[in-house]
């Protein structure tokens, strides 16, 4: 095929290996793969066909996710043990990355679903009965009532959740689906009090603790836009329940489905779903 098997120019070497000339020059400079011959007058690099073996090894190692320094170290070391060690490390590395990606993918799907829901959402403050599946949440008790302070305070609580969150090694992408939880006793008393900020996590998410399960079942829900309308919407829900003879079966969740990028640079603008598990009381036959 080639006239001289051991006198391959950089362009040819690049072509037969599906790599760029610049990359070969870089490898030369890094002493990862140096041409078998260099014309001292012209500086032209000439490779030997057998050097492709080395290139294959480099590309294989790259495919395993190793960086050039690691590859060099490994090739220089000529140590198979070291190579197998690196293989193990790379495997762990990959597994970690794959898990993160898995969560990121789930988060994206969740967001897409939320937008779909947003687009087909009912009018604000309409009360709807919905069946909702079991979910898992990560709770963070701020010990401070979200409703008794302004937005500024709420921001600080979120910052603190973010940190707490990092401590628990939860993936950042879950931060898109936050909310707060108003425990049953407060909701029933129509007392606006919620001290816990929550984060929805996937069913297959593994974590040490702090994870709580929210039961599946029938929920009465309202949707609302913006933080300012949350309290109003909550009260509508409370009133609806007492007027329509429902029994509250658990905690009320205020879930942020979407946070809009930034129509207003200085304020959160969100689409909420308020939800409380209920059961219809049996009507007394008079």
Residues that bind DNA (CB under 7 A): 9-12, 20-23, 25-26, 39, 41-45, 62, 67-69
Instruction: Give the Cα separation of 54 and 259 in Å (integer).
Output: 51
CA separation, residue 266 to residues 12, 128, 260 (Å): 58, 32, 12
CB of 3 to a second copy, least distance (A): 12
Nearer to a second copy, 260 or 281 (CB): 260
Q: H or E segment at 137?
A: strand 135-141
Shortest spacing between CB 197 and DNA, in angstroms: 25
Residue 30 interacts with a second copy (CB under 8 A)? no
| Six-digit token string for 228 | 């300012």
Is residue 83 at the binding interface for a second copy, with CB under 8 A as the rule? yes
77/122 with CB nearer a second copy: 77
Structure tokens at 46: 């000439």
* Structure-block tokens of residue 236: 């509508």
Q: Which one of a second copy, DNA, none interacts with residue 126, CB within 5 to 8 A by kind?
A: none
Question: Judged by CB under 8 A, which of 105, 190, 215, 244 binds a second copy?
Answer: 105
Polymer length of the chain: 286
Closest separation in Å from C-beta 95 to a second copy: 7
Residue (of 217, 198, 203, 187) closest to 256 by Cα position: 198
Residue 24, Cα to own-chain centre: how many angstroms? 37
The binder of a second copy chosen from 29, 43, 80, 208 (CB under 8 A):
80
User: Of the two residues 63 and 286, which places its CB atom closer to a second copy in the complex?
Assistant: 63
Of the two residues 39 and 85, which places its CB atom closer to a second copy in the complex?
85
Q: Which does 26 bind (CB under 5 to 8 A by kind): DNA, a second copy, none?
A: DNA
| Alpha helices, H only, 120-246 | 151-167, 184-188, 230-243
DSSP classification of residue 282: P
Residue 57: contacted member of DNA, a second copy, none (CB under 5 to 8 Å, by partner type): a second copy
Burial class (CB in 10 A: 0-12, 13-18, 19+), 70: middle
d(CA 102, CA 225): 30
Q: Work out what residue 44 binds among a second copy, DNA, none; the CB cut-off runs from 5 to 8 Å by kind.
A: DNA
Nearer to a second copy, 141 or 216 (CB): 141
Count CB atoms within 10 A of the CB of residue 212: 15
State which of residues 131, 265, 283, 286 lies at the interface with a second copy (CB under 8 A).
265
Residue 213 binding partner per list a second copy, DNA, none, with a CB distance cut-off of 5 to 8 Å that depends on partner kind = none
Angle at 165 between CA 159 and CA 167, to 5 degrees: 115
- Residues near 108 by beta carbon (within 8 Å), at least 6 away in sequence: 173
Residues that bind a second copy (CB under 8 A): 1-2, 5, 16-18, 36, 48-54, 56-57, 59-60, 62-65, 74-75, 78, 80, 83-84, 87-88, 90-91, 94-95, 97-98, 101-102, 104-105, 107-109, 111-112, 115, 151-152, 155-156, 158-159, 162-163, 166, 171-173, 175-176, 259-263, 265-268
């Amino acid at each position: 095929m080639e006239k001289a098997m051991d006198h391959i120019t950089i362009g040819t070497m690049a072509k037969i290996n599906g790599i760029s000339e610049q990359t070969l020059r870089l490898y030369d400079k890094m002493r990862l793969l140096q041409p078998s011959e260099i014309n001292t007058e012209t500086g032209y690099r000439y490779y030997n066909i057998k050097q492709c073996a080395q290139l294959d090894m480099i590309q294989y190692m790259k495919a395993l996710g190793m960086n050039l320094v690691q590859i060099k170290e490994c090739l220089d070391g000529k140590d198979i043990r070291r190579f197998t060690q690196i293989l193990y490390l790379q495997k762990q590395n990959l597994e970690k990355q794959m898990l993160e990606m898995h969560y990121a993918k789930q988060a994206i799907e969740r967001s897409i679903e939320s937008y779909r829901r947003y687009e087909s959402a009912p009018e604000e403050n309409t009360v709807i009965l919905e069946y909702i599946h079991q979910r898992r949440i990560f709770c963070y008790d701020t010990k401070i009532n979200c409703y008794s302070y302004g937005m500024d305070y709420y921001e600080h609580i979120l910052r603190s959740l973010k940190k707490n969150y990092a401590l628990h090694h939860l993936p950042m992408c879950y931060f898109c689906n936050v909310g707060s939880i108003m425990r049953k006793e407060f909701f029933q008393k129509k007392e606006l009090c919620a001290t816990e900020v929550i984060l929805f996590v996937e069913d297959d998410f593994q974590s040490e603790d702090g994870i709580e399960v929210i039961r599946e079942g029938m929920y009465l829900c309202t949707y609302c836009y913006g933080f300012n309308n949350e309290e109003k919407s909550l009260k509508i829900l409370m009133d609806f329940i007492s007027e329509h003879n429902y029994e509250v079966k658990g905690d009320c969740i205020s879930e942020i489905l979407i946070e809009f990028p930034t129509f207003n640079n200085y304020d959160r603008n969100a689409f909420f779903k308020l939800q409380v598990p209920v059961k219809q009381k049996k009507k007394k036959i008079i």
